Amino acid sequence: MAHVAVVIPTLRRPDSLARALRSVFAQENPDGHDVEIVVVDNDPARTASGPVEALRTESPFPLTLASAPNPGIATARNAGLAATAAPLIAFLDDDQEATAGWLAALIAAQARTAADVVFGPITGVAEGAPDWARGHLDDFFGRTGPADDRLIDKPWGCGNALLVRATALPGTEPFDVAADQLGGEDDALFAKVRAAGGRFGWAAAARVSEIAPPHRATMSYALRRAFAYGQGPSQEARLRGDWTGVGKWMAVGLLQTLLWSAASAVLWLLRRPSRARALDRAARGLGKVLWAPVFEPKFYGAPELARLERVSPSGG
């Protein structure tokens, strides 16, 4: 019998947190495995306590509320790990909703592949997105992979992933808190896993939905994220001290920016929905060119808390 903890970091999203929790409560018992839930309240005002306590009696599994009052995604993930001794860690984001067989599918795929990290598919739902961009934004917040369980070459993000603690989560704080405001803490971790000879797997039946709220279901938000994703190859080359590689990626990015910007302009004039994907590719190209930290957009921690304060100063 394996012991698995479902860790859900959250920052002032009571409704989506409740939806995520109820989807974990509804999990089909994964072959008798010992399951617990850890919610990490990443709000200094500790606003997750109300929703968690209101739902505690509904939980068929032990439910722990941990506090990480310094807002930041890496800090929250580390706090979740500190709150449990489980050897298997499943991360579910607070804007995700798991299908009933999600956890069992992750555990089964890990056992089948012996991977150190197993990822599952995500159905993106861009609530309130403009019609012309809806298809692209649904795909942007989604994730697809093979039709069956297998080892894969490419790691994905932590949301909807099962990690073997002993091999994929070294030390007491495996997530780099330098990524608290920027994201990418999982990319850095998985680069270390790969360097240590770790393996990545895919769980085809471990599906969740990711419901992007209206403020994220926009092309403006998606293009900022695409730009940040585009920065990745250039930044990784810089961290290796590979300045030739940095130059190569900047040249590739410049070409992508020019070609896809021209394509998006034409598609915009023609009013084609495909202009959304062309804009995405142009933004990723620009990120390769403007890779320096000064250009990094910030999505988590203090910037997100500041946005929430503007929208709802009371913290409700």
Per-residue pLDDT of the chain (316 residues; tens, 9 = 90+): 569 999 999 999 999 999 999 999 999 866 678 999 999 999 999 999 999 999 999 999 999 999 999 999 999 999 999 999 999 999 999 999 999 999 999 999 999 999 999 999 999 999 889 999 999 999 999 999 999 999 999 999 999 999 999 999 999 999 999 888 888 889 889 989 999 999 999 999 999 999 998 889 999 999 999 999 999 899 989 988 999 999 999 999 999 999 999 999 999 999 999 999 999 999 999 999 999 989 988 887 777 777 777 766 544 4
Tokens 């270390």 — which residue? 192
Contact (Cβ atoms closer than 8 angstroms) between residue 119 and residue 161: yes
The Cα 271–Cα 255 span in angstroms is 24
User: Tokens 């970091």 appear where?
Assistant: 9
Q: How far, in Å, CA of 71 to CA of 45, rounded? A: 11
Residue 22's Cβ-count burial label (10 Å; 0-12, 13-18, 19+) is middle
Q: Name residue 161's beta-bridge partners.
A: 91, 119
CATH number of 3-212: 3.90.550.10
Radius of gyration of the chain (CA): 20
Q: Which tokens go with 163?
A: 């990690």
State whether the Cα torsion 150-208-75-187 is positive or negative: positive
**In contact, 36 and 62? CB cutoff 8 Å:** yes
| Maximum Cα interatomic distance, the chain, rounded to a whole number of Å | 59
State which amino acid sits at residue 96. Answer: Q
Give me the phi and psi of 271, to 5 degrees please.
Answer: 60, 35
The alpha carbon of residue 264 and the mean position of all alpha carbons in its chain are separated, in whole angstroms, by 27
Q: What is the pLDDT of residue 64?
A: 97
Say if residues 51 and 14 touch (Cβ distance below 8 Å): yes
CB 287 within 8 A of CB 227: yes
Quote the pLDDT of residue 315.
Answer: 46
Comparing C-alpha atoms, which of 229, 246, 228 is closest to residue 237?
Answer: 246
DSSP labels, the chain: --EEEEEEEESS-HHHHHHHHHHHHT----TT-EEEEEEEE--TT-TTHHHHHHHGGG-SS-EEEEE--S--HHHHHHHHHHT---SEEEE--TTEEE-TTHHHHHHHHHHHH--SEEE--EEEEETT--HHHHHHHHHHT-B---SS-EEESS---SSSEEEEHHHHS-SS--S-GGGTTT--HHHHHHHHHHHTT--EEE-TT--EEEEE-TTTSSHHHHHHHHHHHHHHHHHHHHHTT-HHHHHHHHHHHHHHHHHHHHHHHHHHHTT-TTHHHHHHHHHHHHHHHS-SGGG----SSHHHHHHHHHH-TT--
What pLDDT score was predicted for residue 38? 98
Domain ranges of the chain: 3-212, 219-311
Q: Which two tokens stand for residue 256?
A: 């992508």
